[in-house]
Amino acid sequence: MKKLISIIFLGLITIGLLWAQPDIGIFRKQIIIDRIEEPFINPLMATVYIEEKGVGTGVILTEDGYILTAAHIVEDSSVVSIYLSLFPTHEYKAQLIYKEDLFDLAILKMETDLILPTIKWGSSKEVKIANEVFLVGHPYRFGWTVSRGIVSSLRFDDYGIAYIQTDASAHPGNSGGGLFNDKGEFIGLFSFIYVRLGYFGSTSLNVGWASASDIIKVISGGIIQVHRLMIENLRRVN
């Protein structure tokens, strides 16, 4: 799996150099391309950078621009600036349509006519301790990153798994990013990390938590359906 991460970054950043290696044949090239495209290219494409009072990450839920992120990023902002990984220099506006502090999630509706790539849903009930996971985000404004870790712990409520703990490297800006399994499926929305405060600032302890995808899927599905009905009713009235 270490090779897989290396391939991801080589593929996204210096794929021209990778292809220039004389000992890589056509068959080998095809394997590398396949591994870049699946399972990790889709989560990267379906990630957004959010800049408001702070900075954070979001994931694209629907082709028409419903975005999922962490509630603490947007706070009470009604309109949020976002940047697609596809078009990192172009600013888009998104309206906050829902915020849930209990699970630290927010849903935005992006203003665009584009048909967007979306995440692939995975089931958090299938997550086990020690499973390998990948965190996609935008830490410290440095650009799109993928960090690898394992599931360290699970927290349950009356409905099943509520939170997933991971040791995947995370920093400010990762909040609202997707936690993915080794199939590239979305299994959690990254929410917060534990840090150690020191003289020179804070240090991440690689103890992070993500809200489980099964709960998020139920909540977001209902909110998006209601919002679409409201928009349709407004169009009929007007």
CB neighbour class for 51 (10 Å; exposed up to 12, middle 13-18, buried from 19)? middle
- What three-state secondary structure class fits 181? coil
Concerning whether 157 is annotated as a catalytic residue, the answer is: no
Distance between first and last Cα of the chain: 55
The residue from 72, 191, 213, 214 that is catalytic is: 72
Decide: 62 and 109 in contact? Cβ < 8 Å.
no
Concerning whether 104 is annotated as a catalytic residue, the answer is: yes
Q: Dig out the tokens for 173 from the structure.
A: 């800006």
Instruction: Report H helices in 60-212.
Output: 71-74
Q: In DSSP terms, which residues pair with 153 in a beta bridge? A: 165
The residue from 124, 175, 213, 220 that is catalytic is: 175
Residue 182 DSSP code: T
Q: Which of 34, 27, 25, 26 is nearest to 7 (CA)?
A: 34
Concerning whether 90 is annotated as a catalytic residue, the answer is: no
The residue from 104, 171, 213, 214 that is catalytic is: 104
Decide: 188 and 123 in contact? Cβ < 8 Å.
no
CA separation, residue 220 to residues 57, 62, 128, 156, 178 (Å): 17, 11, 24, 20, 15
Decide: 82 and 67 in contact? Cβ < 8 Å.
yes
Q: Dig out the tokens for 193 from the structure.
A: 């990390």
Enumerate the active-site residues: 72, 104, 175
